[in-house]
Structures are given as structure tokens and as C-alpha cells.
Structure 1
Amino acid sequence: MNRRLVISDIHGHGESLLELLTTAQYSPEQDQLVLLGDYIHKGPDSLGTLEIVYSLKQQGAWVIRGNHEQDVLDHKRNQLAAPLTERMRQFLLQMPLWKADDQYIYAHAGVRAGVELQNQSITDLTTIRDEFFHSNFPIRGKQIVFGHTLTSRIGAKFGHILWKDDRIGIDTGAGKRLFLSLVDLTNKISYRKRITTGEIDIIHY
């Protein structure tokens, strides 16, 4: 495996996701791609984005569930252009709530300190904020990679990734028509697209 690439909170901007993967020269055979949830709502094409994510999973990407997918499953909101097909509903149901490798723990919103990963609640993994931000980590020496909360609200420069010793926040606001960021964790690079102009920047950390 050459690189670990991760992206979160795509919010219907599937074509932007594909552009960033092309810019980063993503190779399913060589790179591990991790998608951290919130593929739908707010943006231009939720259902099309889900199809893109489905295809990426077929190629080996890890696809994690976010709170917007959970809300659809819980019938709390739909706001999609058409009803979900049964294939897509099963796709949402089968998405794990977290993944881990030898360096990182991946979850949409974060984790609750003091609770084993297998015992974390759906609510915490998809929506936690303050209790996660104000907790001391790491968990077994791993960094936690998460989305859900705009990084500029938790200490990062506007439009930038939050890099800390114990956690990495990557939601740069595509759902608010700001930026969508694909992060190369291996090389500490962010491929960032400005939603309003389509401009792509490559930022080294």
C-alpha cells in the first residue's frame, strides 16, 4: 500500500470527489481510500454521489456511515431526489460505523473516551462533538481521523485540516459550499477544492 487517502462530508459533491481523486492520482490497487460519511444532502447530487461511493467501495475503499446516512435509515430525513433503491438502502445498512488500521481509527464524528471501540454507540460515532474534542487521547497510540465538524470551528485555519498528535479533523465545509478536501495521511498533503469556483489547491502540512 502506497498511501492512506481519506475524505469526509462530501454532501452530494460526487463529481468534486472524482476530480480530487484524479488530481491525487488515486490508484485502488496501491492506495487505501477511506470515506468517512455524509455522502448525501445539502449538495447538488446525493443519489449520484452514493453511486460513486458504491463504485469506490467495489474497488476496495472503506466506506463509513455518517449521521446523514443514519438519519435516512432512521426515517428522520430523506431530502433526496428520489426514493432509495433497496440496493442503496442495503448499502447504507452495511456501512460500518468505524474502521481501524495500524496507525489510525476512522469515524465520522469521533469517539467517546474510555469506551472500547466495539462498544461505542451509533449516536457518538456519528454525532459526537464537545465530549470528543475535550477528551484526552490517544487510544492505544493511534490518531483518530474524523469529519462532521468544520475544522475552523475547532482550531484550524479556515479551509485547512486540523492536524494534532492524537486526532485529525478533515471536514472543510463542502456541505456549506466552502471546500472539499481529500487528505493524504501518509505524506501530509491535502487536495482541496473550493466548491464555488472549482479551484483545486495542493497543501502540504
Structure 2
Amino acid sequence: MQKTILISDIHGEFKKFQDLLTLANYSPDEDRLVLLGDYIDRGPDSADVLDLVMNLQQNGAIVLIGNHENLMQKAFIEQTEYAWKHWTERCGGKETLLSYGFTKEEIQGIGEGEQFTIPQLQSTQLDEHLAFIKNLHTYIEDDDYIFVHAGIDPHIPVSETDKETLIWIREEFHNGYTGSKTVVFGHTPTSTLHQSENNHDVYFGQNNIIGIDGGAVFGGQLNCLELPSKSIYFIK
């Protein structure tokens, strides 16, 4: 039976990502790799992670969008002070732009309010990554599982759920989901789900939810879930 390997919330941790794929013995010819989003921000090597993710997709991996990729996309599309500073200053986008070789001075916006303009950053690699992000899906569903970045609205079919919910939802999904299909998700660090700041293990909820975000970029671990065996691999 084909293995499904799931990883989420890499957040620029390129070396950990490489090591985890090796540890899980991932083979693109034999396994199905599903990546659940948040490849960028906060960590040091977001550009390298996206390069690898693109390569993995070309070799068959299924790649979903996370809220951080969406924030990056919005910052460049909306070009407002709020969108730019929310991404770069609050959500780790500054570290992402530094990974493309820009300097701190180059990534500062000019002006304030309605007069604010985002910097004109020239990078073929960045342009390729933004185009890649634009085409990512929000979820996939099979006979037994739903794979998604953050979760689903427990009250409506996933096919009718808006993108913002799928990449941002937390407690309403964690506590309210009662569906028969198991939902595998990232986004919320498992230490929060376990209610234990030192427990970064994969979280198996009693209501058919499995959280795999081990909070690697916050000092936790990068988790990998293998299905159908439910084997766990991780890099501290």
C-alpha cells in the first residue's frame, strides 16, 4: 500500500525539512507527499524551502497553501501599509525577504497611510515563488481523510468553506468538528492542543482530528505523520 507522508509549518527551517524527508525515507516514486502550508516566515531559509517545495511538487508532491504564504501574496498584491507591515513586522516576513538577499534597508516601505508605498524588490526567484503560491490549493480530500492547513468549518461541507477559514481557523474547528473523515492539519502548534508547552508531539484528537505542527521555528520540532500506519518522525 502506498504511504502518505505529511509535513506542515516548515517556516524557513530548510535543514530540518531536508533531514525529516531523509528520516521518513521519502521516495517520490513510491510515496505520496502532502505538504500542508507555512513554508516561509520567521525561520532563516524560506527562499530555499520554497525552491525545494517547488521541486518536490514537480516530482509529484501535493502542496497546499498556508496563511503565511497568503500573507506574503496579499502584501505584494494589496500594496497597503497594513498588509506589508502585518506580514513583514508581525508575521516573520522580514526574515523571508532577507533569505532572498535583500537588506533590512531595502525592505522598508516609504511613507505612511495613503502615501505608503512598498519597496520595489527585484528578484527573479521571488517572482517565481509568488507565481507558484498563487496556484496552490487549499485542501485535498480522499475517502478517509481531509488534508488542510488550519482546519475546516465544522458546520458546512469543506467544499463550501472559504479560503480564509481553511488557512486560519482554530478553536471552533478543534472543539467543534464531529465529521467521520479524519482531518490532518497544521497551523496551531501541538503544544497548544496538548495544553503543555513542552509537548510538541503529533496531536491525535478524539474527534477525528490530527494536528502535526510541532512548532519547530519556536524551538519545538518538525513533525512528519505517515499514513496509514500513523508512524511519526520528527526533527528536534
Same fold (TM over 0.5): yes
Percentage identity across paired residues of the two chains: 36
| Amino acid of the structure 1 residue aligned with 2:158 | L
Structure number with bigger Rg: 2
The alpha-carbon deviation at position 156 of structure 1 amounts to: 6.6
| Amino acid of the structure 1 residue aligned with 2:215 | G
1:132 aligns with 2:169: no
1:113 aligns with 2:148: no
The alignment partner of 2:42 has SS state of coil
Aligned counterpart, 1:50: 50
Is there any run of 5+ residues in structure 1 with no aligned partner, and where? 195-205
The alignment partner of 1:85 has SS state of helix
In 2: Cα distance, 1:137 partner to 1:47 partner: 38
| Amino acid of the structure 2 residue aligned with 1:30 | E
Aligned counterpart, 1:181: 223
In 2: Cα distance, 1:111 partner to 1:27 partner: 30
Q: TM-score, normalised by structure 1?
A: 0.88
The alpha-carbon deviation at position 90 of structure 1 amounts to: 1.2
| Amino acid of the structure 2 residue aligned with 1:11 | H
| Amino acid of the structure 1 residue aligned with 2:13 | H
The alpha-carbon deviation at position 115 of structure 1 amounts to: 1.6
The alignment partner of 2:176 has SS state of coil
Aligned counterpart, 1:153: 192
In 1: Cα distance, 2:152 partner to 2:177 partner: 11
> Does the CA-based 8 Å contact 1:33-1:61 persist in structure 2?
yes
In 2: Cα distance, 1:129 partner to 1:104 partner: 18
Farther-moved stretch of structure 1 (13-22 vs 157-166): 157-166
Structure 1 residues 46-90: Cα deviation after superposition (integer angstroms, max 9, x where no partner): 101000111111111110000000001111324222356322111
| Amino acid of the structure 2 residue aligned with 1:136 | Y
Aligned counterpart, 1:72: 72
In 2: Cα distance, 1:55 partner to 1:189 partner: 25
Higher helix share: 2
Aligned counterpart, 1:143: 182
The alpha-carbon deviation at position 155 of structure 1 amounts to: 2.4
1:170 aligns with 2:212: yes
In 2: Cα distance, 1:54 partner to 1:119 partner: 28
The alignment partner of 1:88 has SS state of helix
Higher strand share: 1
The alpha-carbon deviation at position 19 of structure 1 amounts to: 1.0
Q: TM-score, normalised by structure 2?
A: 0.77
In 1: Cα distance, 2:211 partner to 2:35 partner: 13
In 2: Cα distance, 1:137 partner to 1:14 partner: 35
